[in-house]
Amino acid sequence: MLKKILIILAILIASVFAAGKWFFSLLPDASHYEGVKTAEVKDIPYLNQAQPENRGKILAVVTSVDQMGASGKSTGYELTELARAYWVFKANGFEVDIASPLGGDAPKVLDGDDMGVFDYAFLNDSSVQQQLENTLRIDDINPLDYQAVYFVGGKGTMFDFPGHKAIKNLVRDLYEAGRVIAAVCHGPAALLNVQLSDGSWLIADKKVSSFTNSEELFLIPEAREIFPFLLESKLVEQGANFIAGADYLELVVRDGQIISGQNPWSVWTLAEATVEALGYEPVARVRTAEEHAVDLLAVYEKQGYQAAIDRLSQPAKNYERVLVLMHGVLAFMKFELIKGWDMLMLTQKIKSAQQ
């Protein structure tokens, strides 16, 4: 009996080891990440084409908070959410200013697993760095200098955006002047507590999205204790018609002048929707591998595994397989075993097509 038990145990250990080795083989090698770190503007065709004539200015606003309350957890603005929108605005003929509640060098969050060539080109650009180290102070801003404002996400926004008088005045003045208000992920915290001149609340009965309670609590189970509120709940409490999509997939909602995105994967579409809201057709852009992966995951969510396989069999696209793999990990963590396995199979097929 002992011999049989030992044999079974050895088989289980070998199986786990083989499964782990296969899982890690689905990840790109280190050169995949190292190769993008030296990206510069000159390397990206989208950023080197002729730009439309100057169409005015857009203000991007980031948080000044570097810690999540008393938790000791560091935070700041999400660099990817700023960088990608910044490049879309610039490519479409807009000058971009960057501001924060305190001004100066605002704290940023760099997530190497999520960063690509556009993000590193942003980091490696000296003129951009000058802006990042010297963000404008919101109190010193003349709102009507701008055609639109874009509130960048980052968990710090939950602490300094909602109660900031100058931010509330900025949003009110721009909205009442017919300008565009855009925000992504935690950025819609800036829409809270904004009262218009007629006494009504800005977001009352407006369609709005943001980082959802489901997304927040999965990543930070103690979010209710760390944050002063959950953003989705607070938006609903103040009268918003909250729109939520699938967790960690793109969703952009427009209600007149207000454009909001659910999470970081919504930034590209939100930025281009902002350009459209300002009356212009966005300049053509080659979609990124991450966007193609998000599209694939959306097909899976709406139509199932076979539809996702069929999408992969269409004319070749470059898919960011790490993102698909991470959705598999998330599924296993939620005990959605079939979905998790499907994600691993999709990742394997993407890897095979890329070899």
Residue closest to 36 by CA, chosen among 290, 250, 330, 269: 290
How confident is residue 286, by pLDDT bands cut at 50, 70 and 90? very high
Instruction: Identify which has the larger pLDDT, 49 or 25.
Output: 49
How confident is residue 224, by pLDDT bands cut at 50, 70 and 90? very high
pLDDT recorded at residue 50: 83
* Cβ burial 311-350 (10 Å sphere, 16+ → b, else e): bbeeeebbbbbbbbbbbbebbeeeeeeebbebbbebbbbb
pLDDT recorded at residue 21: 64
Instruction: Identify which has the larger pLDDT, 85 or 9.
Output: 85
- Average pLDDT in the 107-124 region? 90
The two three-digit tokens of residue 165, written as one number: 């008088």
pLDDT recorded at residue 72: 86
pLDDT recorded at residue 11: 44
What are the tens digits of pLDDT across the range 131-144? 999 999 999 999 99
Residues 91 and 83: beta-carbon distance below 8 Å: no
Q: How many CA atoms lie within 13 A of 239 on its CB side?
A: 12
How confident is residue 47, by pLDDT bands cut at 50, 70 and 90? very high
pLDDT recorded at residue 69: 86
Domains and CATH numbers, the chain: 41-277 (3.40.50.880), 287-355 (no CATH)
Quote the CA–CA distance of 34 and 115 in Å, as a whole number.
Answer: 11
Which of 18-27, 104-113, 155-164, 261-270 comes out lowest in average pLDDT?
18-27
Residue closest to 333 by CA, chosen among 248, 219, 250: 219
In sequence order, the 6+-apart residues with CB closer than 8 A to the CB of 62 are 76, 77, 82, 98, 99, 100, 106, 108, 135, 152, 154
What is the percentage of the chain residues whose pLDDT exceeds 90?
79
Residues 183 and 191: beta-carbon distance below 8 Å: yes
What is the percentage of the chain residues whose pLDDT exceeds 70?
91
pLDDT recorded at residue 5: 39
pLDDT at 299 over 60: yes
pLDDT at 32 over 70: no
- Average pLDDT in the 269-283 region? 97
pLDDT recorded at residue 306: 96
pLDDT recorded at residue 117: 93
